[in-house]
Chains A and B, each alone.
Chain A
Amino acid sequence: MATMPEEFRLPGKKDLFIEADLMSPLDRIANVSILKQHEVDKLYKVENKPVLSSNEQLCFLVRPRIKNMRYIANLVNTDKLAGRTRKYKVIFSPQKFYACEMVLEEEGIYGDVSCDEWAFSLLPLDVDLLSMELPEFFRDYFLEGDQRWINTVAQALHLLSTLYGSFPNCYGIGRCAKMSHELWRKLEEEEDGETKGRRPEIGHVFLLDRDVDFVTALCSQVVYEGLVDDTFRIKCGSVDFGPEVTSSDRSLKVLLNAEDKVFNEIRNEHFSNVFGFLSQKARNLQAQYDRRRGMDIKQMKNFVSQELKGLKQEHRLLSLHIGACESIMKKKTKQDFQELIKTEHALLEGFNIRESTGYIEEHIDRQVSLIESLRLMCLLSITENGLIPKDYRSLKTQYLQSYGPEHLLTFSNLRRAGLLTEQAPGDTLTAVESKVSKLVTDKAAGRITDAFSSLAKRSNFRAISKKLNLIPRVDGEYDLKVPRDMAYVFSGAYVPLSCRIIEQVLERRSWQGLDEVVRLLNCSEFAFTDMTKEDKASSESLRLILVVFLGGCTFSELSALRFLGREKGYRFIFLTTAVTNSARLMEAMSEVKV
């Protein structure tokens, strides 16, 4: 709490303009009365509307984006034309970019506004989850190849190592992971001393690029928290439950974290278990209330003063989550979720491709959902190493006809990011595939694609899946109530690739024996291990693992790793640039605002 106010040091009354994306994060750590204490008079959202403020001092809290600079420049220049003088202060969060200053200079207001930075880059969303709340990281880096946020990541790591001691074991995979790690190391060297001598509390750090595993992020989620995110969109740790959930005439904003006792017990469960749990809970609650029947006055007084409040709270949470489940069931039944999941599983396992392609085609033809159709195409592309040219053309044409020709731009983006590609001619034979890829070195392939400025690589998903045993062979029924492996987060059909890699590396404490996998992931140059020789780490700290997701993680991945933690006696904490899911990834690739 105490860290927040300093940034608003601009003596006297002022109006504060906040960028929409920063509102929710700020809400998590401050409220209006704190702002009032800092003489903030009125609050406005940064948006393209005329400004009505009559205050003499204006303060802007924004992300370092060009469009924000234009907005501010416009405002200041309007004031200038009207002969009005005010004080302006721009606070960039988490940091200022030179491109922004350049725009201020070009617009002729450099010097008229003062600039500041608020290095607010780690928001604790939960007991084990830190978010940088930078969803644009994904597009900026994985589509545009802009490395502007790498410094932010390095700073965040640096802060964590200042707080918890240096990290004795670091592992990473992905180009961005490698660069972030290097820059962080640099920071540590430069600001030597602070971490020296502290006993390390975090035994292992694992950095992972989102493009190492797109597949997991593209799948429909079926653990409760993931399903809630896919259905209602969890924003900055809280969700807006509409009237259909609250069974009243108003919406309710609900904070979802370990604090919510009911939620905490079901968040990582497969959705099919949730009903049973909730009805058991409901019965228990009923019994608790029923106890009051036989009570005398004194007992009743006790009951009311001591237990009632807790019971009421539980009751409220229980009815909320039952309402949410009901609403999810209705929506999923309506959209034929079962059919969808079946198709996804077939894609993951790599059989019946024709039928799945047909399913996707029909999805598009019926204009079911613009984002879903795109997601399924990407899943098909990545699992199959790109679409057959004939399919690519026909699906693309139908997509443009169903959802609008301007999505041509989205297709171009998806191709550049490697999410939706077309197999090169002669690329179709999967049997020959591995042999060929062995012959062609990554470098040569890299040069060819680089000509098109593409970060895209062949996904080799099928081969990786085989190597890492991502599709569990199960005899009989996969008991989702008693999961046997991380595959439970996808109904027992698939072990998330990202989590499997982490598991394997932690087991070996290195990449040893994983060379082939690393090569198939196109990461030969970007898989690293960095161990300090000092043996200060306690055995306790060695069980604590920080996983850093660059480009976002999904709730399913968190659930899978929490499961792994319970199995192996690890404790995971997560740092992500943002929590993501398939829809967010697809939206980030779209040129057309949907």
Chain B
Amino acid sequence: MNRTKGDEEEYWNSSKFKAFTFDDEDDELSQLKESKRAVNSLRDFVDDDDDDDDLERVSWSGEPVGSISWTIKETAGNSGSTHEGREQKSRNNFSSYGQLSKPVSTYSLSSLFKGRTRFGSFQSLSDALSDTSAKSYAPELGRPKGEYRDYSNDWSLSDTVRRLRKGKVCSLERFRSLQDKLQLLEEAVSMHDGNVITAVLIFLKRTLSKEILFRELEVRQVALRHLIHFLKEIGDQKLLLDLFRFLDRTDELALSHYREHLNIQDPEKRKEFLKTCVGLPFSAEDSAHIQDHYTLLERQIIIEATDRHLESAGQTEIFRKHPRKASILNMPLVTTLFYSCFYHYTEAEGTFSSPVNLKKTFKIPDKQYVLTALAARAKLRAWHDVDALFTTKNWLGYTKKRAPIGFHRVVEILHKNSAPVQILQEYINLVEDVDIKLNLATKFKCHDVVIDTCRDLKDRQQLVAYRSKVDKGSAEEEKIDATLNNLHIRWKN
């Protein structure tokens, strides 16, 4: 469990996992690209017009023409008056392409299987299953089972359950005493068939008072689980909550109530509903989350109203330059923070929409705050703000750069937001680990950093290797040459 650092390094440096890396874009992809070129070069010869016949015909949506999925999309596109005409068209499609397309997707299994079987006697899966004699696979359904009505009331307990299992209609009315009902339930449970268990429960729910039902199920966990799932599915929220209350499962009771907010679309109503959830018997931890959920939506409604107004008035520069893509309602907290860092960065702490206010209200950790603010400000290319985010003054007034998330992450985020080389360079230089620094600098083509680092490491070989990667006659090449020729450096290799 607790390996030493040395062990770990050895582990990662051992060649076990080096067989393949997704980082090595160059090697792997170039191999792939080469194959692709080779294949593509054949295209001229291969692609003539008549060669579509061994490929499925595919509609614009990608579904094979004549397939059921495709046809349904077509019907869905139709409406009202154009119906007949469109339908005629699709019908043409079926006759012309239906024949072509289908064999491809159906022949494959059976024909192939025959050729492959190593065991002569083993009938292929697809053959066996499409065999007409295999009636039990798809029973004759001319006379639906449900119509074999049976009005006899004399079935024994086990016969009753067996009939239920076979999907036959079977009256349960004769099970009137509690003992009979419970025996019926236990027999159903012993057969393991959930459908039958639920059938019996439906009967018990109808013929027993809920107190008795709940009491008996409390000691029958399998049946209880079926009842809970059944109530969830048919949406009998009231009985479900009663049941949880009876079982004293306060946590599930609260969550089950809270769950209903998902069905409320209107933000105001949703907010009001969440308010009713705040006092529910959640665990202490979850209570805080529910409170936060309510507060967040409350804030979002205020921010949304103000910003929609500002945006439509067209007076605010930020909204003119960067129109909002979506409403902020019901977005996660981090997204809201990003939004607020994007549109309301400079606002005073007193306003609901200011990032600092959000940070305080929801106790957002420093790390998370910096990460989000960085992404937002970088997106706006506000490099000054980025700079300020990491600058701290000590008591003597000296400034220092600090990042709670590690500067290598900062660099990556900046790069994703296409920061210019000068900016990237500045932050790469702040990365402490030399290997990571060198890696990043190479990856993002910050030549100066690479050259300077190699020089500092006195690693002549690496610098020579890097020279082959830069453009001929470029300033970088010149700088490398100058460094390599510098007689004052005592290279280690």
* Interface residue? B138 (CB, 8 A): yes
Which of B40-48, B390-398, B427-435, B464-472 interfaces with chain A? B40-48
B29 at the binding interface (Cβ < 8 Å)? yes
A110 to B268, CA, bound (A): 40
| A491 and B367 alpha carbons, distance in the complex (Å) | 34
A286 sits at the interface (CB 8 A): yes
* CB <8 Å contact, A145 and B225: yes
Question: What mask results when residues 114 to 136 of chain A are scored 1 for a CB within 8 Å of chain B, else 0?
Answer: 11111110101011101000000
Q: Are B222 and A147 in contact (CB under 8 A)?
A: yes
Give the interface size class of chain B. Answer: 35 or more
Q: Is the CB of A253 within 8 A of B64?
A: yes
CB contact between A332 and one of B12, B22, B71 (< 8 Å): that residue: B22
In the complex, A503 has a CB within 8 A of chain B: no
A114 vs B142: C-alpha distance when bound (angstroms): 12
Q: Does A333 contact B (CB under 8 A)?
A: yes
**B46 and A315 form a contact (CB under 8 A):** yes
Contact bitstring B290-323, A, C-beta under 8 A = 1, else 0: 1011001000000000000000000000000000
Q: Select from chain B the residue with minimum beta-carbon distance to A283.
A: B38
Q: Tell me which residues from 111 to 144 in chain B have a Cβ below 8 Å from any Cβ of chain A.
A: 112-113, 116, 118-119, 121-126, 128-132, 134, 136-142, 144
| Alpha-carbon separation in the docked complex, A362 to B51 (Å) | 51
Contact with A along B60-102 (1 / 0, CB 8 A): 1111101111011001101110010001000000110011011
Is A312 engaged at the interface, CB distance under 8 Å to the other chain?
Answer: yes
* 25 interchain pairs, CB-CB under 8 A: A2-B132, A3-B129, A23-B72, A33-B98, A99-B195, A114-B144, A119-B138, A140-B229, A144-B232, A145-B225, A150-B194, A162-B136, A201-B123, A251-B62, A259-B108, A316-B46, A329-B25, A333-B22, A366-B371, A401-B362, A452-B249, A477-B19, A491-B19, A492-B16, A493-B16
Stretch at the interface among A72-80, A317-325, A515-523: A317-325
Given A3-B132, A119-B138, A342-B12, are A147 and B192 neighbors across the interface (CB < 8 Å)? yes
Q: In angstroms, how far is the closest chain A Cβ from the Cβ of B29?
A: 6
Q: Which of A158, A351, A367 contacts B1 (CB 8 A)?
A: A351
Q: Given A145-B222, A159-B136, do A127 and B125 touch, yes or no (CB 8 Å)?
A: yes
B191 contacts which of A120, A130, A183, A591 (Cβ < 8 Å)?
A: A183
List B contacts of A124 (CB < 8 A).
109, 125-126, 129
- Known contacts A326-B32, A352-B8: A279-B38 contact under CB 8 Å: yes
A315-B42, A326-B36, A491-B20 known; A259 vs B109 contact (CB < 8 Å): yes
Known contacts: A31-B98, A253-B58. The answer to whether A9 contacts B137 by CB under 8 A is no
By the criterion CB–CB under 8 Å, are A3 and B138 in contact?
yes
Q: Does B490 contact A (CB under 8 A)?
A: no
**Bound-state Cα–Cα, A493 to B32, Å:** 25
Partner of B198, one of A97, A114, A115, A350: A97
Query: Would B20 and A272 count as touching, CB distance under 8 A?
Result: yes
Closest residue on chain B to residue A29 by CB atoms: B106
Q: In whole angstroms, what is the CA distance A393 to B180 when docked?
A: 48
Q: Does A484 contact B (CB under 8 A)?
A: no
Closest to B255 in A: A412
Beta-carbon contact of A6 and B141 below 8 Å = yes
Give chain A residues whose Cβ lies under 8 Å from the Cβ of B121: 199, 201, 540-541
Please measure, in the bound complex, the distance between the C-alpha atom of A401 and the C-alpha atom of B364, giving whole angstroms: 9
CB–CB A146/B194 < 8 A: yes
Contact of B151 with A by CB under 8 A: no
The answer to the question of A530 belonging to the interface, with a C-beta cut-off of 8 Å to chain B, is no
Chain B residue contacts of A52, Cβ below 8 A = 78-80, 83
Residue of B nearest to A431 (CB): B1
Residue A27 is within 8 A (CB to CB) of chain B in the complex: yes
Cα(A42)–Cα(B28), bound, Å = 49
Contact with B along A239-283 (1 / 0, CB 8 A): 010000000001111010111000000000011100110110111
Contacts of A28 in B (CB 8 A): 105-106
Cβ–Cβ contact A9 & B142, under 8 A: yes
Residue in B closest to A332 when the chains form the complex, CB atoms: B22
A163 sits at the interface (CB 8 A): yes
Given known contacts A144-B229, A149-B194, is B108 in contact with A257 (CB within 8 Å)? yes
A544 in contact (CB, < 8 A): yes
Given contacts A338-B21, A338-B23, A345-B17, contact A33 B94 (CB under 8 A): yes
* Chain A residues positioned under 8 Å from B164 (CB to CB): 98
Does B421 interact with chain A (Cβ within 8 Å)?
Answer: no
Query: Within 8 Å CB of A199, what residues of B?
Result: 121
Known: A32-B98, A403-B332. Contact between A322 and B39, CB under 8 A?
yes
Give Cα A593–Cα B304 distance, bound, in whole angstroms: 24
CB pair A145 B198 closer than 8 Å: no
Contact of A309 with B by CB under 8 A = yes
Besides the contacts A42-B75, A146-B198, what 8 more A-B pairs have beta carbons closer than 8 Å?
A98-B196, A148-B193, A164-B123, A276-B31, A278-B35, A351-B7, A544-B119, A592-B262
Residue ID in chain A nearest B292 by CB atoms: A405
- Pairs of residues from A and B, 5 with the lowest C-beta to C-beta distance, nearest first: A147-B194, A272-B20, A251-B62, A145-B225, A148-B194
Residues of B within 8 A of A (CB): 1-3, 7-8, 12, 14-23, 25, 28-29, 31-36, 38-42, 45-46, 51, 54-56, 58, 60-64, 66-69, 71-72, 75-76, 78-80, 83, 87, 94-95, 98-99, 101-102, 104-106, 108-109, 112-113, 116, 118-119, 121-126, 128-132, 134, 136-142, 144-146, 162, 164-165, 167, 191-199, 202, 221-222, 224-226, 228-230, 232-235, 249, 251-252, 255, 258-259, 261-262, 285-286, 289-290, 292-293, 296, 330-335, 362, 364-365, 367-368, 371, 405, 409
Contact call B249/A4, Cβ cutoff below 8 A:
no
Interface size for A (C-beta < 8 A) is 155
**B20: min CB distance to chain A, Å:** 3
Q: Are A183 and B192 in contact (CB under 8 A)?
A: yes
Chain B minimum-CB-distance residue to A329:
B29
A2–B130 CB distance below 8 A:
yes
Distance in angstroms from A524 CB to nearest chain B CB is 18
> B104 and A255: CB pair below 8 A?
yes
A326 near B20 (CB under 8 angstroms)? no
The reply to whether the CB of A436 lies closer than 8 angstroms to some CB of chain B is no
Question: Given contacts A148-B194, A453-B228, are A401 and B334 in contact (CB under 8 A)?
Answer: yes
Q: Within the assembled complex, what's the spacing in Å between the Cα atoms of A327 and B104?
A: 25
Q: Are B292 and A240 in contact (CB under 8 A)?
A: no
- Are B38's CB and A282's CB within 8 A? yes
Q: How far is the CB of A116 from chain B (nearest CB, A)?
A: 5
Say yes or no: B142 contacts A6, CB within 8 Å.
Answer: yes
Contacts of A345 in B (CB 8 A): 17
| CB within 8 Å for A365 and B17 given contacts A3-B134, A33-B98 | no
Query: Is the CB–CB distance between A275 and B35 below 8 Å?
Result: yes
> B76, B130, B229, B292: which has the most chain A beta carbons within 10 Å?
B229
Residues from chain B with Cβ under 8 Å of A504 in the complex: none
Which of A29, A33, A480, A540 touches B20 (beta carbons < 8 Å)?
A480
Report Cα–Cα, A80/B255, bound state, in Å.
39
* The residue from A119, A146, A259, A400 contacting B112, defined by CB atoms under 8 A apart: A259
Most chain-B Cβ atoms within 10 A of its Cβ — which of A24, A27, A352, A450? A27
Within the assembled complex, what's the spacing in Å between the Cα atoms of A492 and B18?
11
In A87-128, the 8 Å CB interface with B consists of: 95-99, 102-103, 114-120, 122, 124, 126-128
Closest CB in chain B relative to A83 CB, distance in Å: 21
Closest to B205 in A: A102
B222 contacts across to A, CB distance below 8 A: 145, 147
Residues of A within 8 A of B332 (CB): 367, 400-405
Taking A3-B130, A251-B61 as contacts, is the C-beta distance between A319 and B229 under 8 angstroms? no
Choose from A32, A319, A405 the contact partner of B71 (Cβ within 8 Å). Answer: A32
Confirm or deny: A71 has a beta carbon within 8 angstroms of a beta carbon on chain B.
Answer: no
Asked if A409 is an interface residue, CB under 8 A from chain B, the answer is yes
User: Which residue of A has the minimal Cβ distance to B203?
Assistant: A98
A212 at the interface (CB under 8 A from B): no
Across the interface, which residues of A come within 8 angstroms of B34, CB to CB?
A: 279
A122 touches B191 (CB 8 A): no
Which residues of the other chain, A, contact B167 by a CB distance below 8 angstroms? 95-96, 117
Chain A residues within an 8 Å CB radius of B80:
52
